[in-house]
């Protein structure tokens, strides 16, 4: 479900950029799978999981087909898609941290890869679409921070040898709820202290 929702966001961006169906599929694939592939390459889990199960490729393809034919309807439920995206963010940061630790990384680096798993696909998507990545823009609600919170909770539980399915679920829920609160109240990361830039606000990435 997380891959499917992430892939929908990639395909929707392709529609907004007026890309063809192949471009939609590519953005869907990299958004849904990019973070996990990056993680697996770093930890040496090769070939990456995305290349060992056909389902990993077919899921973004299904999202592309849905958006290709029904993108006006999908845009109208964009809020629901964002809520599901927040759920995917929570799940990905937990599974990414856990898998990195299982492959021998320390807790700090495992948490960092957990964040990369959750947000990496979106960064690759934005770069390919010639956009400033959303998580680097001050005018976007918190995205990487909720993933960092979830990954940190998992790392702390691993440190105390207390990670259980319940604990993993709590970490995912924490990231999910924080992301929803950021969307609801417009929470954003602070910019430089005593910033004096005259650049237009909407175009000034952090």
Give the pLDDT confidence score for residue 205 in this predicted structure: 43
Residue 200 lies in a domain: no
What is the domain range of residue 76? 2-189
Residue 197 lies in a domain: no
Residue 99 lies in a domain: yes
Residue 134 lies in a domain: yes
The yes-or-no verdict on residue 1 having pLDDT over 60 is yes
Q: What is the pLDDT of residues 16-72, one digit of tens each?
A: 999 999 999 999 999 999 999 999 999 999 999 899 999 998 999 999 999 999 988
Residue 44 lies in a domain: yes
Q: What is the pLDDT of residues 73-108, one digit of tens each?
A: 888 888 888 898 899 999 999 999 999 999 999 999
Mean pLDDT on 147-173: 97
Residue 108 lies in a domain: yes
Contacting residues for 168 by C-beta, under 8 A, at least 6 apart = 94, 98, 154, 157
> Residue 48 and residue 33: Cα distance in Å, rounded?
10
Nearest-10 Cα torsion for 132, 134, 139, 141: 180
Give the pLDDT band (50/70/90) at residue 197. low
Q: Burial letters for 65-85: b for 16+ Cβ neighbours within 10 Å, e otherwise?
A: ebbbeebeebeeeeeebbebb
Q: What is the pLDDT of residues 3-25, one digit of tens each?
A: 998 999 999 999 999 999 999 99
Residue 201 lies in a domain: no
Number of domains into which the chain is organized: 1
> Residue 184 and residue 204: Cα distance in Å, rounded?
22
Residue 87 lies in a domain: yes
Residue length of the chain: 206
Give the pLDDT band (50/70/90) at residue 206. very low
Please state the pTM of the whole predicted model. Answer: 0.88
The yes-or-no verdict on residue 160 having pLDDT over 60 is yes
């Amino acid at each position: 479900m997380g891959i499917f929702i992430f892939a929908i966001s990639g395909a929707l961006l392709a529609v907004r950029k007026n890309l063809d169906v192949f471009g939609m599929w590519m953005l869907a694939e990299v958004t849904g799978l990019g973070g996990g592939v990056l993680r697996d390459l770093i930890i040496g889990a090769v070939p990456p999981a995305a290349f060992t199960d056909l389902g990993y490729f077919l899921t973004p393809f299904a999202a592309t087909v849905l958006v290709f034919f029904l993108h006006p309807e999908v845009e109208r439920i964009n809020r629901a898609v964002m809520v599901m995206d927040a759920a995917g963010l929570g799940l990905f940061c937990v599974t990414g941290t856990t898998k990195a630790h299982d492959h021998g990384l320390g807790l700090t680096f495992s948490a960092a890869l957990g964040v990369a798993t959750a947000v990496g696909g979106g960064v690759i998507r934005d770069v390919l679409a010639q956009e400033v990545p959303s998580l680097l823009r001050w005018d976007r609600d918190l995205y990487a921070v909720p993933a960092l919170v979830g990954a940190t909770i998992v790392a702390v539980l691993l440190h105390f040898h207390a990670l259980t399915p319940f604990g993993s679920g709590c970490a995912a829920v924490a990231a999910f709820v924080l992301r929803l609160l950021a969307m609801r109240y417009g929470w954003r990361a602070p910019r430089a202290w005593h910033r004096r830039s005259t650049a237009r606000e909407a175009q000034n990435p952090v």
